[in-house]
Amino acid sequence: MSSELNFQSIWEYEVRDEFRAEFIDAYRSNGLWVSLFEQCKGYIKTELKQDVEHSKRFLTIDYWQSQSAFSAMKQSLGDEYNKLDRQCEAYTLSEKHIGFFTNE
């Protein structure tokens, strides 16, 4: 199995209470980000997780077939990606890219 198979990008967010609904609409499995990612070959799915002990804390896990598929998306949809990222910044107090991961 290729080490790039099922490449994941994981993000952590602290969400503003007043924008919780908008954040969920943007980041859920059929949200705005998924609509963007689905335009690209190699996108698999996105999962949105909420911390059970800290209700403002969320994780997203974006699954791609490979790192090269993810990189191609960033190159081909860079402007749209950046525009959506700027729009969604208002929904959070903080965001942190945890990292890129692969299945072993």
In this predicted model, what pLDDT tens digit does every residue of 49-97 receive, in sequence order? 999 999 999 999 999 999 999 999 999 999 999 999 999 999 999 999 9
- pTM summary value: 0.90
Output the domain CATH number for residue 46.
3.30.70.100
- Does residue 77 sit within a domain? yes
Residue 68 domain boundaries: 7-101
The two tokens of residue 83 are: 């525009």
3-state secondary structure at position 77: coil
Is 2 inside any structural domain? no
Q: Indicate the helix (H) or strand (E) that contains 81.
A: helix 78-89
41 found inside a domain: yes
Work out how many domains the chain is built from and give that number: 1
* Helix, strand, coil distribution of the chain in percent, nearest 5: 40, 35, 30
Residue 1 in any domain: the answer is no
By the 8 A CB rule, do 27 and 48 touch? yes
Q: How confident is the model at residue 3 (pLDDT cuts 50, 70, 90)?
A: very low
